[in-house]
Amino acid sequence: MTPPLALPLSSRSGSTEKFCPYLSVLRQQCYNWADETNLRNGVREMAEHFVQFRVEGQSVYGMLHLPEGKGKVPAVALCHGFTGNRIEAHRLFVKMARLLAANGIAALRFDFRGSGESEGDFEQVTVSSEITDALAALDFLRKQPEIDPERIGLLGLSLGGCVATCAAARDQRVRALVLWAAVADLSGFEQRLDPTARDLLEKQGWLDFGGWKVSKAFYEDTTRVAPLREALRYDGAVLIVHGGNDPVVPVDHAHRYHAAFQCTKRLHIIPDADHTFARLSWEEEVMKVSLEWFKTHLL
């Protein structure tokens, strides 16, 4: 069968083109073709789907990577960092998601509300709102027909690592957790504010963080979220990976996480690596150890 357009991706967003209904019909034809060709002789081919799910009345957009094969597969949701998105630095999340799918594990990359392409304004973002989004992403994954709801993992980078820790602790069904350069102590956000910034925050209710409007509610929320205390409740298997030369989140945060978790755990420090593992050798190492962790605890 010849596809109407050479589009390699299918969609589960259910969204319509507001200004061009014809384009919606044409896209749906392509998506139907992709779904048909992704399942031949009962064997699913590796595929990537645009997806969306609703959280508190707003749409969260993402990409679901599915491995080839038969039957239900495990899955991992990826939580990006502060002001990041579902692609992340040097396409780190894209590469990791595709590596997982190539090894039999589905992956969901999504944008928190107010970030990337998801609905909402960044001014409304708090750590708690991102935890809510992460929990919704886990629920979304478990409802997918290809996913085994009993074999779910979480991966988080930087602030996303804090979010992933809290979501895993609250969900209690996350079997494997991987933290990359994760923030263990949120007090640093407020402590780094000088008196001038504090006065401005109090006066106008937000601060300009490199073009991102960070609200007073965000700073207040950081005083209420305690990831190390949440870590005590997690009873799955956690891998903590950190760069030894991280200038954004010091490596001490990794050691504090390792001390806090009371479950199956492993600490892996990559000497000299920075915050986002921005060198090919560092990237390869963080992805390799993470893949092995998920294969061990989800497959």
CA distance 236 to 172: 8
Task: Give the CATH number for residue 246.
Answer: 3.40.50.1820
What value does the CA radius of gyration of the chain take, rounded to a whole number of Å?
Answer: 20
Q: Let me know whether 62 and 133 are in one domain.
A: yes
Residue 27 lies in a domain: yes
Q: Are strands 10-11 and 47-55 parallel, antiparallel or unpaired?
A: parallel
Q: Let me know whether 145 and 88 are in one domain.
A: yes
Q: Let me know whether 171 and 93 are in one domain.
A: yes
Residue 214 lies in a domain: no
Residue 9 pLDDT grade (very low, low, confident, very high; cuts 50, 70, 90):
very low
- pTM assigned to the model: 0.87
CA distance 252 to 258: 10
Residue 210 lies in a domain: no
Q: Let me know whether 80 and 21 are in one domain.
A: no
**In this model, does residue 10 exceed pLDDT 60?**
no
pLDDT for residue 210: 95
- Domain span including residue 245: 44-186+225-298
pLDDT for residue 124: 98
pLDDT for residue 188: 87
Residue 61 lies in a domain: yes
Structure tokens at 164: 């992933």
CA distance 254 to 258: 6
DSSP for residue 46: P
pLDDT (mean) for 141-159: 98
Residue 88 lies in a domain: yes
**In this model, does residue 18 exceed pLDDT 80?**
no
Residue 27 pLDDT grade (very low, low, confident, very high; cuts 50, 70, 90):
very low
pLDDT (mean) for 179-207: 95
Residue 215 lies in a domain: no
Q: List, for residues 72-84, the tens digit of each pLDDT value.
A: 999 999 999 999 9
Q: Which residues pair with 176 in a beta bridge?
A: 153, 237
Residue 70 pLDDT grade (very low, low, confident, very high; cuts 50, 70, 90):
confident
Q: Let me know whether 98 and 127 are in one domain.
A: yes
Residue 151 lies in a domain: yes
Q: Let me know whether 111 and 173 are in one domain.
A: yes
CA distance 124 to 256: 29
Q: Let me know whether 12 and 101 are in one domain.
A: no
Q: Which residue has the tokens 């799910």?
A: 53
Question: By percentage, how much of the chain surpasses pLDDT 90?
Answer: 82
Amino acid at 38: N
Residue 193 lies in a domain: no
CA distance 77 to 154: 5
C-alpha separations of 134 from 60, 186, 239 in Å: 10, 18, 18
Q: Let me know whether 70 and 160 are in one domain.
A: yes
User: Of the candidates 132, 126, 129, 153, which has an alpha carbon nearest to the alpha carbon of residue 141?
Assistant: 153
CB 243 within 8 A of CB 273: yes
pLDDT for residue 20: 44
The residue with greater pLDDT, 12 or 193, is 193
Q: Let me know whether 93 and 229 are in one domain.
A: yes
DSSP for residue 210: T
Number of domains into which the chain is organized = 2
Residue 42 pLDDT grade (very low, low, confident, very high; cuts 50, 70, 90):
low
Residue 263 pLDDT grade (very low, low, confident, very high; cuts 50, 70, 90):
very high
pLDDT for residue 44: 80
Q: Let me know whether 180 and 268 are in one domain.
A: yes
pLDDT for residue 12: 58
Q: Let me know whether 82 and 165 are in one domain.
A: yes
pLDDT for residue 30: 39
**In this model, does residue 212 exceed pLDDT 70?**
yes
CA distance 296 to 299: 6
Q: Let me know whether 73 and 127 are in one domain.
A: yes
